[in-house]
Amino acid sequence: MHSQSDLLVELLEAIARTLVDHPEEVQVRAVQGQAVTILELRVPPEDVGRVIGHHGRLAEALRTIFRGVGRKLHKRVTVVILD
C-alpha cells in the first residue's frame, strides 16, 4: 500500500514526464514536515523551461493542483522546481 506522499510523488512524476524530452531523468522527492509536504521536482537543465512554461504558467498550474490535493489531505503541499 502506498502512503499519501508516495502517491503525490508518483502523480508529479507522471505529469512531469509527459512534459519533458528526457522523461527517464525526472526525479521527485517528498520532504515531510509537520504541516507541510514539499515536493522537489528535478529535471535536466534543458527541460526546465518546459516544466515552468511560458511566464511560469505551467509551474503555477502544478502548484495549484497540488495545493488542492493538499487541502483534501489536510496538509500544505508545495512544489519546488530544481535545476
In angstroms, the CA 40 to CA 38 distance is 6
Amino acid at site 48: V
| All structural domains of the chain | 4-82 (3.30.300.20)
Amino acid at site 58: L
Q: What is the pTM of this model?
A: 0.92
In angstroms, the CA 6 to CA 14 distance is 12
pLDDT band at 73 (very low <50, low <70, confident <90, very high): confident
Grid coordinates standing for 37?
Answer: 509536504
* 1 pLDDT more than 70: no
* 78 pLDDT more than 70: yes
Rg of the chain in Å (alpha carbons):
12
Mean pLDDT, range 19-32, rounded to an integer:
96
